[in-house]
Structure 1
Amino acid sequence: MTQTEIPTFLVELEDAFNRAMISNDIGQISRCVTDDWILVTPEAGPVSRSRILGVIGSGLLSHATMTKVPTHAWVAGDIAWVTGRGQNTGTFNGQPIEADEYITDIYRRVDGEWRCMLTHLTPVHEGQQGGA
């Protein structure tokens, strides 16, 4: 496999993660992530699973749409990563939000199931083109 070949199971994992996030259901989201999942954002830096799920569970943050187009991936034993471009819309603190980001999700196989252990977001800047 080359870095740019995206295994079908990773595309399916990313699609399931997107559906869980727009459901705004912390139970569905929890099934996609490890107990020690970290979300790294440009605004807040590393955010723990409990903190992000708490914000979603409280209704402070909600997602209406979320898409990702994977462009690079790698699988090594029980660890896999996928990077791509993602867009999402929703609300934060009652205000509309939208994002255009490069997203890297790192997955770990736990008890035979792949779960995301780290999500890293990097904003796309105007005029920036994805490379490599």
Structure 2
Amino acid sequence: MTEEYGTEADLREIERVADAWAAAIVADDADAMAEFMAEEWCMVAPTGIDGRDKLLSLVRSGTLSHSAMERVGPARLRVYGDTAVWSARVTNTAHYGGERYDADEWTTDVYVRRRGRWVCVLTQTTPAGSE
């Protein structure tokens, strides 16, 4: 169950977008991934800030792939007009440069509504600590 704040239609649509984007990532489909990302999208992670083009080029080249991505527990979703903030604990398995990486992290995506659809402008990940 998702904690809710916003119109029912917006909440359902953002949940659909978040799930479809995760499926595109696991499918290693860079073109499908790009559909969910604004041109100025960036990822803020413990290693720094990277842009959309870098991520998509790593996926297209096969240097980066994902074999799993799963939300653990409920997401927190808030809609503020044409901006939405989605946060959840996510586990994923990535393969980078031939090495496997398993992650358990808190992920926050900031979406904006543009031309009638939601696109992500920023993703921030924080490693999950022990409880």
The TM-score normalised by the length of structure 1 is: 0.87
Q: Are 1:28 and 2:27 matched, yes or no?
A: no
Indicate the residue corresponding to 1:59 in structure 2: 62
CA deviations over 1:53-103 (Å, ceiling 9, x no partner): 111111111001111244311101111011010011121110111100000
Find 1:78's aligned residue among 60, 77, 82. Answer: 82
In the TM superposition, what is the alpha-carbon distance from 1:22 to its structure 2 partner?
0.8
Contact map agreement 1:14 1:68 (CA 8 A) in 2: no
Indicate the residue corresponding to 1:4 in structure 2: 3
2-structure distance, mates of 1:4, 1:25: 30
SS of aligned partner of 1:102: strand
Q: After superposition, where does 1:107-122 map in structure 2 within 5 Å?
A: 107-122=111-126
The runs of at least 4 consecutive aligned structure 1 residues that moved more than 4 Å come to none
Structure 2 spans left out of the alignment, 5+ residues: 6-10
Indicate the residue corresponding to 2:18 in structure 1: 14
SS of aligned partner of 1:4: coil
Segment drifting more, 112-121 vs 66-75: 66-75
SS of aligned partner of 2:17: helix
Q: Are 1:99 and 2:96 matched, yes or no?
A: no
Structure 1 spans left out of the alignment, 5+ residues: none
Q: Are 1:47 and 2:46 matched, yes or no?
A: no
The TM-score normalised by the length of structure 2 is: 0.88
In the TM superposition, what is the alpha-carbon distance from 1:116 to its structure 2 partner?
0.8
- Number of residue pairs aligned between Structure 1 and Structure 2: 124
Q: CA RMSD in A?
A: 1.5
Aligned-residue sequence identity (percent) comes to 33
